[in-house]
Amino acid sequence: MRFSAVFLVPLVIAAVSATSTDPDILDACPGYNATNVTTHGATLTASLVLAGQPCNVYGNDTGTLLLAVTYETKSRIHVKITDPSSDRYEVPESVVPRPKPDPSVNPSQADIRFNYTASPFSFSIYRSSSKEVLFSTASHPIIFEPQYLRVKTNLPDNANIYGLGEHTDSFRLPTSNTTRTFWSRDAYGVPSGSNLYGNHPIYFEHRTTGTHGVFLLNSNGMDVKINDTAGTSLEYNIIGGVLDFYFLAGSTTDPTEVARQYADIVGAPAEVPYWSFGFHQCRFGYQNYIDVANVIMNYSAASIPLETMWTDIDYMYKRRIFTVDPDYFPLDRMREIVDYLHSHDQHFVLMTDPAIAYLPGEGYGPFDRGVQDDIWLKAANGSSYSLGAVWPGVTVFPDWFNEKTQDYWTNEFKLFYDPTNGLDIDGAWIDMNEPSSFCNYPCSDPFAQAQEQDLPPARTTSPPDPNAPILGQTTLHKRVDHSGDDLQNPPYMIDNQAGTGALSDKTAYVDALHANGMVEYDTHNLYGTMMSTATHNAMVARRPGLRTLVITRSTFAGAGTRVGKWLGDNFSDWDHYRNSIAGILGMAGIFQVPMVGADICGYADNTTETLCARWAMLGAFYPFMRDHNADTSISQEFYRWPTVAQAARNVLDIRYRLLDYIYTAFHQAHENGTPVLNPLWYKYPQDPATFPIDLQFFYGDSILVSPVTEENVTSVTAYFPQDVFYDFLTLEPFHGTGANVTLNDVNFTSIPVHIRGGAVLPLREKSAMTTTELRKTDFELVVAPSTQGTASGSLYADDGVSVTPSASTTVEFSYEKGLLTVTGKFGYPLGVSVSRVRFLGVGSAPKTVLVNGVKTKGSAYSWNKDSQVLDVTLNTPFSRGFTVQHS
């Protein structure tokens, strides 16, 4: 089908108040007429000319715009509206590289189509196969002003909208009076309904007829409003930049296809080291190096696997990054801890913040070298530093757009994290990178505010004996013209909930200048992602050829190609426990940031033994599993309560046995963007009961997790779609009927986990204390047939650390009519055996069992009538394919 236009008689619009926010008045603005429409192959261009008397709602309406529509792939349409008369800010290609269009695309064969009305201009996106409209601006004129852009689309009633994060709302967004604000801020307590740390202006809309996606590539502050007062609609209100939309067709049958299409735009997730899937421990509040050492030893004594020890800003001297406190965390003692960890196949990570202490003339190397390289973010006049007040007191901020900043950051990492003379970290943790500042607006005197807030805070304990014994046995681009724009108080104020709401409150000033002429007003939401890129590059430089683990707080679209993310400073309460599930589903299932987790047991306030036990079990199914809390809270390491310790041991046994399964899922995500976590509706897109569910989820493709979500109860009501499931521990079959089921007797050290029918799982035979030890453990294959009696699965393995592994192994599992076939390319030596195959749902004792076509003795297999499990002993080296058949 060609581009089409329907010509309507233009409406005569009266002028409206310049301060009105009434949607009816905004909808009465004149909009634009499309003229000079030209099509060339897969591209349409047009001039959009103001269609009547301007509204001038939040500034002067732009008279003429340029429309460019490109069918970039069969499933992706790029719609871009710009002001051809001025160089307006756009997200730099250096931050989000644009995908290359497929030159062979034929619009007549595309899965979605673009349609427009010329006068007044509106456009729609519809599905080719069904003519179903997916996005439509009909009756909602586009408004384009210097500091205000508005686009509004109609939605179906009770629309299923997901994404538009980062947020702590329900996974399926409410459609009544909902505002999602995009403006990075330090959001202590991660309040619901508020703007938080990161910004991902992508949403998926799911219908029983299919799932599609809409991505707006714009980093300026914005409110996205969803309302159903007069028909359901979604409205963008943006305070700068351009309109740069990507429309994704998704699929009519497989919701995960839209995730892969989004990955084609922003990039697929990075592969992370195998060891990063182990359990991590941290706390803000370890008083000294002895505390850190004791935690390591107590985990070992409690037989709880600890893979990585983390240290928060406590280790720093006066909270200055790239320092250690010589009295509390002396370098030689910290190096002793790191050496111990490495000798026991464990790992170490430290916190690094972006704000650098402003200390002219005091010999603080990181500041002095930054001055020498002139890489600090500048004040609006361009001649002085843009100052803030953060943990070390008055600070400056690196300008990530400065071409010298990457070399500066890499050198600081090289100097401080030097394996020979510094601290040999295995991963990096970056925080406060919204960027956060404690300075209240207007921050006219950061020195006075730092003094008032006691920054840096004084130590409250005496330093330890520097020679105290530790680690022994223990019982536990271009310049944009903003002249005339009000950057501090734009005409349209987004619903920023930081402090006073002023854009510069609690962050770097929005009129701060970057070296390339850009201002923070436009690039603010990119700061955390750019720090992430610089930190990733610094880690690659100091560990060439090795994958990085970088965990950040603030992210923008595409951040997952380099870093992982934790959900910020949550509270030790059941609300945050519950909404962490929607948080990880958003990051891993939509935003392509799959290495994600929440602070287990909660960051702020005091946890309880039962909450921490439940959270340890839920947290084992976060891709990134870390216990972390604040210095104002009680200690919450898992070994501190018997119930929590046992819950941790139980669930880490499950997590570690599944580690190769999730590692394989991450490899697939890296290859094509397939989600590693799945809401139930991804797997059951025709079952409306699954659409709102965000207290259950699939870990990988086939592991259904149904955590207890209420305090002091030992049961959980979970939804089981019409399908067959198998209890992970007993392996007994359970047939879902598309109804809620109450699971009883869920004690405080257990969590309901089920295998979805149709999977072949490559499990480790048993858990281990480290991932290095785990990789020496044999596999067992669990075959969980679907209702059709079939199953499939895969396994990917490599050395677990190399960016470009020299060898890899890929194994495919297929089961049908009682025959399991294992085939693969065994390039990387697994070095272990397959100890047995476990066939589930076998209703009667087998008459014959064949291994590689040869009949086996009865002693080589056993069948359990009650659990319906057939176990076949193999003990065959996992270096070649094989078959196992029962009949």
Output the pLDDT for position 23: 77
Contact 279, 323 (CB under 8 A): no
- 28 vs 432 pLDDT, higher one: 432
Q: How far is CA 703 from CA 615, 695, 749, 787, in A?
A: 18, 14, 19, 16
User: What was the pLDDT predicted at 473?
Assistant: 53
Question: What single-letter DSSP state applies at residue 467?
Answer: T
pLDDT in the model for residue 14? 32
Return the percentage of the chain with pLDDT > 70, whole number: 97
Phi/psi at 582 (5° precision):
-60, -35
Q: Which two tokens stand for residue 103?
A: 């030159």
Whether the predicted pLDDT of 2 surpasses 70: no
Residue 434 is among the residues annotated as catalytic for this protein: yes
Three-state secondary structure of 47-60: EEEECCCCCCCCCC
Is CATH 3.40.50.720 correct for 4-266?
Answer: no
Alpha-carbon distance 754 to 698, whole Å?
Answer: 9
Which tens digits make up the pLDDT trace of 131-149?
999 999 999 999 999 999 9
Exactly one of 72, 431, 505, 520 is catalytic; which is it?
431
pLDDT band for position 846 (cuts 50, 70, 90): very high
The structure tokens listed for 819 are 């025959």
**Which of 235, 424, 485, 569 is the catalytic position?**
569
Ranges for all domains in the chain classified under CATH 2.60.40.1760: 4-266
Give the mean model confidence (pLDDT) for residues 760-781: 98
The one-letter code for the residue type at 585 is L
Could you read off the pLDDT of 284-337 as tens digits, one per residue? 999 999 999 999 999 999 999 999 999 999 999 999 999 999 999 999 999 999
> Known catalytic residue: 701?
no
Quick: pLDDT tens for 453-487: 999 999 999 999 999 999 985 444 556 889 899 99
Q: Provide CATH 3.20.20.80 ranges for the chain.
A: 310-548
- Go through 183-205 and write b for each residue having 16 or more CB atoms within 10 A of its CB, e for each that does not: bbbbbebbeeebbbbbbbbbbbb
Cα separation values, 134 from 153, 247, 384, 452, Å: 9, 9, 49, 53
Checking if the pLDDT of 51 tops 90, the result is: yes
Q: pLDDT confidence of 224, banded at 50, 70, 90?
A: very high
Position 365 pLDDT exceeds 60: yes
Say if residues 350 and 429 touch (Cβ distance below 8 Å).
yes
d(CA 567, CA 166): 9
Q: Which residues of 774-801 are buried (b: 16+ CB within 10 A; e: fewer)?
A: bbebbbbbbbbbbeeeebbbbbbbbebb
Catalytic residue among 257, 434, 495, 520: 434
Res. 99: pLDDT tops 50: yes
Where would I find the beta strands (DSSP E) of 779-848?
A: 779-784, 790-797, 809-816, 819-826, 833-839
DSSP string for 484-523: T--SSS-SSPP---STTS-TTTTBS-TTPBPTTS-BHHHH
CA-closest candidate to residue 816, choices 789, 843, 838, 839? 789
Residue 597 above 60 pLDDT?
yes
Q: What are the C-alpha distances in Å from 201 to residues 167, 218, 553, 556, 586?
A: 11, 8, 17, 9, 12
pLDDT band at 19 (very low <50, low <70, confident <90, very high): very low
- What confidence score (pLDDT) does residue 624 get? 98
- Give the CATH architecture of domain 666-886: Sandwich (2.60)
Residue span(s) of the chain under CATH 2.60.40.1180 come to 666-886
Q: What pLDDT is stored for residue 474 in this prediction?
A: 46
Q: How far apart are CA 706 and CA 614, in angstroms?
A: 11
Residue 59 has φ and ψ, to the nearest 5°, of: 150, -175
Q: What does the mean pLDDT of the chain come to?
A: 95
Q: Are 48 and 66 in contact (CB under 8 A)?
A: yes
pLDDT, one tens digit per residue, over 694-718 is: 999 999 999 999 999 999 999 999 9
Question: Is a pLDDT exceeding 90 seen at residue 414?
Answer: yes
User: Is 145 a catalytic site residue?
Assistant: no
Q: Tens digits of per-residue pLDDT, 632-689?
A: 999 999 999 999 999 999 999 999 999 999 999 999 999 999 999 999 999 999 999 9
Top-tier CATH class for 310-548 = alpha beta
50: Cβ contacts below 8 Å, ≥ 6 apart: 30, 32, 33, 61, 62, 63, 64
Query: Tokens for 769?
Result: 């204390």
CA–CA gap between residue 566 and residue 557 (Å, rounded): 15
